[in-house]
Amino acid sequence: MSLTPLDDEFKGKFDPRVWRKLLQYLNGYRWAVARLALGGVTIAAVEAYLPIINGRMIDRAVTDGSLGALGPLIALYVVLFAAFAACVFVFIKAAGELATGVGFELRRDSFAKLQDLSFSFFDTRPVGWLTSRLTSDCGRVANILPWAILDVFWGALLLTSVTIAMFVIDWRLALWTCAIIPLLAAASVVFQRIMLHSSRQSRRTNSAMTASFNEALLGVRTTKALVREESNLAEFERLSSEMRRWMLKNAVQGSIYLPLVMTIGAVGAAIALARGGSDVLAGHGLSVGKLITFMQFAVLFQHPIQELAQRFADIMNASSAAERVTSLLATEPAIKDAADPAGAAARIREVRFEHVTFAYKPGVPVLHDFNLTVRDGETIALVGATGGGKSTIVSLTARFYEPTEGRILLDGVDYRERSLHWLQSNLGVIQQVPHLFSGTVRDNIRYGKLDATDSEIEAAARQVNAHDMIGTLENGYGFQVGECGDKLSTGQRQLVALARAVLRDPQVFIMDEATSSVDTATERLIQAGIEAVLRDRIAFVIAHRLSTIRRASLIVVIDGGRIVEQGSHKQLIAKRGRYFELYTHQYAAEREAALFETGA
């Protein structure tokens, strides 16, 4: 059963530990954090001070009656606004540095982690899923940090300074006006919580809907053949209705929340007007200007509360992203070097499997008590039905996985005691569907030896008879192979991959159906070229082609995770056992293919 990594998207609970780990990334950005804090504080101060100036200006204009007396106040007004705009500039830049910088570092560390994690990690996680961890998750987390910092400073300061200012002006009126704070806070908390739920539900439905669209496109021929269009649509409509329901719910919740907060703000202003107005009339010393200041404060209150509630919801929403990023960063690779790896031998002269048992899933072994010794100069052909365990042997040899039981010895030393990097530096693996990287053919061959000269690259290509094929491409070695090499046919990719491996000059070659997609004539040429390379090396070959298998020094027939036969081609044919059966079957297929190739 494969695990369902897609579900955890919506489970995120707020876990302060997760965010604390992420806060460590701020260490390198103290200056940006300081500017953000400074920006938040300054803006709050300006915002809190403006109503006070407004009030003063009114009082002075009413009592004094001359514009000249207002000059300094207007100048202060201008200065405050200029400071505000300057702060906006500073904190957006600081936020940018923080968001892009932390994003970059999170991606860098996650990527580095992925380079170390073992294959068992990748088996259960689709590439697309992992990719979005590095793109959208890291981006979301990094983007939330600066704004959260800014808002916390801004909101906290604005709330406290407004409150203090109100109490300084008139503590009784302040008490009355502050009565709305708990209301605002309660409304914000309650609504953000329920809106979080509906927004998560709609996101969940949205991804189900995308999957459904995807399935409709992938299975369009089957749908047509089964005349399933209407039933599919009916099923899809259920999803799209649910989507509409949740989106609408979320919008309606929002459409209650905002007017509610604004009405509460009006209640505050109304209290200030009614109580303060009586004070003005009674001549308690409250001026008209101060009354206006109070009313503006009452309205000002709602902004930080609203904003902080919104920010908290954002953080909740990003919690699952944060959790996924931190848990990726915290994952320990299942395969690691021993603390003190044995000295790297100059070459590998012997690979020995000792009682190796291996299971991808506990209790379901795919390889049982496997024993085999290979010395340099030997080529081992692994044959057998699909799923018999051939590729597992290859993966174990490359230490993509380690044996569940038993051990693999390299020159007599368990390879777990050696360095992983050393082993993999001495390997040449060529897969059936070789992976190429986007770039030129030359870049791809150079992957085998990063400092190779162009002539070395060409020599490697000639060795495996890829040179002529490359010559037919536009720009030859400069041909852009496209994403994952998709501009080349599988056969062409196999040739490039072979050249890459040969340039690598490894001690151990592993060829997993490496030439299955090149035509018979080319394959013979490749064989001739490779034979020279393999002369004093160890090679594991999985192949269906007879010509490839027959050249091996030892043929090992594997079935159900065990060796059922081994020997030379002649011995095995004479035995008339499993190999004979496979061989004759394959023989027919090959001759048939040849028949079609020449045409009737």
Partner 1 sequence: MPNATATIWDLTKGHRLRYGTALGSLVAAVALGYLVPLVPQAVLDGVLVDGGTRASAFTRRMIDAMGGTEFLQTRLWIPGLVMVAIAAVTGICTHVRTRLAASASEAVAKGLRDRLYDHIQRLPCPTLDKRESGDLLQRCTSDVETVRAFFASQVVEIGRALLMLIVPIPFIILLDWRMAIASVAIVPIIIGFSLVFFRRMRPLFLAKEAAEGKMTSTITENLTGIRVVRAFARQEFEKSKFASTSGAFRDEDMRLFRLFATFWATSDLLCFLQQIIVVATGLWLLTQGSLLVGEYFYCITAVTMFIWPVRMMGRILADLGKALVAIERAREILDTPDEHVGEPTEPASVMAHAKNLGGAEIVFQNVVFGFSKLEGTPPVLNGVSFRVPAGATLGLVGPSGAGKSTVAQLLLRLYDYTSGSITVDGRELRTIPRREIRGMIGTVMQQPFLYSKTLRENILISAAGHLNDEDAMCSAASIASVHESIEEFPQRYETQIGERGITLSGGQRQRVAIARSLVQDPRILLLDDALSAVDTHTESQILAGFHSREARHTTIIVAHRLSTLRHADIIVVLDRGRVIQQGTHDTLIAVPGMYRALWEIQTNLDDLDEPVAIGSVS
Residues 380-439 that bind partner 1 (CB under 8 A): 387, 398, 400, 421, 424-425, 427-429, 431, 434-438
Helix (H, G, I), strand (E, B) or coil at 133: helix
- Distance of alpha carbon 15 from the chain centroid: 21
User: Which region, judged by CB under 8 A, interacts with partner 1, from 173-181, 182-190, 307-315, 445-453?
Assistant: 445-453
Between 329 and 368, how does the x/- string for binding to partner 1 read (CB under 8 A)? ----------------------------------------
The backbone torsions φ and ψ at residue 182, rounded to the nearest 5 degrees and listed phi first, read: -60, -35
Between 24 and 63, how does the x/- string for binding to partner 1 read (CB under 8 A)? ------------------------------x--xx--xx-
What residues contact 405, with CB distance under 8 A and at least 6 apart? 355, 356, 357, 358
DSSP 440: B
Nearest to 280 by CA among 269, 271, 272, 291: 291
Alpha-carbon gap, residue 426 to 422, rounded angstroms: 7
User: Which region, judged by CB under 8 A, interacts with partner 1, from 172-180, 325-333, 361-369, 588-596?
Assistant: 588-596
Q: Is residue 131 exposed (0-12), middle (13-18) or buried (19+ Cβ within 10 Å)?
A: exposed
Alpha-carbon gap, residue 463 to 47, rounded angstroms: 75
**Strand 554-559 vs strand 379-383: parallel, antiparallel, or unpaired?**
parallel
Q: Break the chain down into helix, strand, coil percent, rounded to 5.
A: 70, 10, 20
How many positions of this chain bind partner 1 (CB under 8 A)?
Answer: 150
Of residues 350, 411, 456, 590, which one binds partner 1 by CB under 8 A? 590
- Considering the rule CB under 8 A, would residue 197 count as an interface residue with partner 1? no
- Considering the rule CB under 8 A, would residue 525 count as an interface residue with partner 1? no
Between 80 and 99, how does the x/- string for binding to partner 1 read (CB under 8 A)? -xx-xxx-xxx-xx-xxx-x
Using CB under 8 A, which residues numbered 288 to 317 contact partner 1?
A: 288, 291-292, 295
Minimal distance in Å, beta carbon 555 to partner 1? Answer: 15
Helix (H, G, I), strand (E, B) or coil at 369: strand
- Considering the rule CB under 8 A, would residue 107 count as an interface residue with partner 1? yes
Using CB under 8 A, which residues numbered 63 to 82 contact partner 1?
A: 64-67, 70, 74, 77-78, 81-82
CA R_g for the chain: 36
Using CB under 8 A, which residues numbered 540 to 569 contact partner 1?
A: none
Helix (H, G, I), strand (E, B) or coil at 388: coil
- Considering the rule CB under 8 A, would residue 575 count as an interface residue with partner 1? no
Q: Report the residue number, 241 or 327, with the smaller CB distance to partner 1.
A: 241
- Considering the rule CB under 8 A, would residue 210 count as an interface residue with partner 1? yes
Q: What angle do CA 489, 490, 495 make, to 5 degrees?
A: 100
Of residues 72, 122, 355, 377, which one binds partner 1 by CB under 8 A? 122
Residues pairing with 508 in the sheet: 427, 538
CB contact at 8 A, 559 and 385: yes
Q: Is the sign of the CA dihedral 56, 61, 62, 63 positive or negative? A: positive
Residues pairing with 410 in the sheet: 351, 413
Q: Report the residue number, 84 or 405, with the smaller CB distance to partner 1.
A: 84
User: Which region, judged by CB under 8 A, interacts with partner 1, from 113-121, 159-167, 189-197, 321-329?
Assistant: 113-121
Using CB under 8 A, which residues numbered 493 to 512 contact partner 1?
A: 500, 504, 510
Minimal distance in Å, beta carbon 14 to partner 1? Answer: 27
Minimal distance in Å, beta carbon 147 to partner 1? Answer: 12
Alpha helices per DSSP H over 64-137 = 71-116, 119-123, 127-132
Q: Report the residue number, 23 or 239, with the smaller CB distance to partner 1.
A: 239
Minimal distance in Å, beta carbon 378 to partner 1? Answer: 20
End-to-end CA gap in the chain: 48
Minimal distance in Å, beta carbon 34 to partner 1? Answer: 17
Q: Report the residue number, 168 or 595, with the smaller CB distance to partner 1.
A: 595
Q: Which amino acid is at 350?
A: E
Of residues 34, 220, 334, 344, which one binds partner 1 by CB under 8 A? 220
Q: Report the residue number, 119 or 167, with the smaller CB distance to partner 1.
A: 119
Q: Report the residue number, 316 or 433, with the smaller CB distance to partner 1.
A: 433
User: Which region, judged by CB under 8 A, interacts with partner 1, from 14-22, 169-177, 232-240, 554-562?
Assistant: 232-240
- Considering the rule CB under 8 A, would residue 483 count as an interface residue with partner 1? yes
Alpha-carbon gap, residue 243 to 204, rounded angstroms: 9
CB contact at 8 A, 564 and 558: yes
CA distances from 515 to 39, 194, 537, 587 (A): 63, 59, 19, 17
User: Which region, judged by CB under 8 A, interacts with partner 1, from 14-22, 213-221, 314-322, 348-356?
Assistant: 213-221
User: Which region, judged by CB under 8 A, interacts with partner 1, from 18-26, 306-314, 530-538, 584-592?
Assistant: 584-592
Alpha helices per DSSP H over 556-577 = 569-575
Tokens representing 41 are: 């504080």
Of residues 236, 333, 564, 577, which one binds partner 1 by CB under 8 A? 236
**What length does the chain have?**
600
Of residues 11, 15, 31, 108, which one binds partner 1 by CB under 8 A? 108
User: Which region, judged by CB under 8 A, interacts with partner 1, from 270-278, 319-327, 455-463, 533-541?
Assistant: 270-278
- Considering the rule CB under 8 A, would residue 577 count as an interface residue with partner 1? no
The count of other CB atoms within 10 Å of the CB of residue 600 is 4
Of residues 48, 173, 269, 410, which one binds partner 1 by CB under 8 A? 269
Minimal distance in Å, beta carbon 332 to partner 1? Answer: 16
CA distances from 316 to 10, 19, 144, 156, 303 (A): 10, 11, 11, 20, 20
User: Which region, judged by CB under 8 A, interacts with partner 1, from 326-334, 345-353, 536-544, 580-588?
Assistant: 580-588
